[in-house]
Amino acid sequence: GLSPSDSSIDAIWHLAEYTEEILTATSRLAVSYNINIIAGSMPVTEESELYNVSYLCKRDGTIESQYKLHPTPHEKKDWIMKG
């Protein structure tokens, strides 16, 4: 878990560990309620890099994603996030 001594970069990397679980649960809700859900943006790690990715969970169970094209200065500096 997180502790008060964790840096913001530690916190965002820790949060990224839950992205897949959150995405799976959101997709199940979309199918269960027969609705499309914009899941919003979540941190994702790929090949030791951190990305900000938005997801659309469709009622048919498919999931679409869009990587953020232009990270904010804060995302780049404090979280070392890629675009």
The answer to whether residue 72 scores a pLDDT higher than 70 is: yes
Note the pTM of the prediction, 2 decimals: 0.84
Structural domain contains residue 1: no
* Residue at 3 is within a domain: no
Cα separation values, 13 from 29, 36, 72, 74, Å: 25, 27, 17, 15
Name the band, by pLDDT with cuts 50, 70 and 90, for residue 78: confident
Domain tally, the chain? 1
Domain annotation covers residue 2: no
- Taking 70 as the threshold, does the pLDDT of residue 2 lie above it? no
Note whether residue 28 is domain-resident.
yes
Residue 5 has pLDDT above 80, yes or no: no
Range of the domain at 39: 8-82
- Copy the structure tokens of residue 33: 């309620």
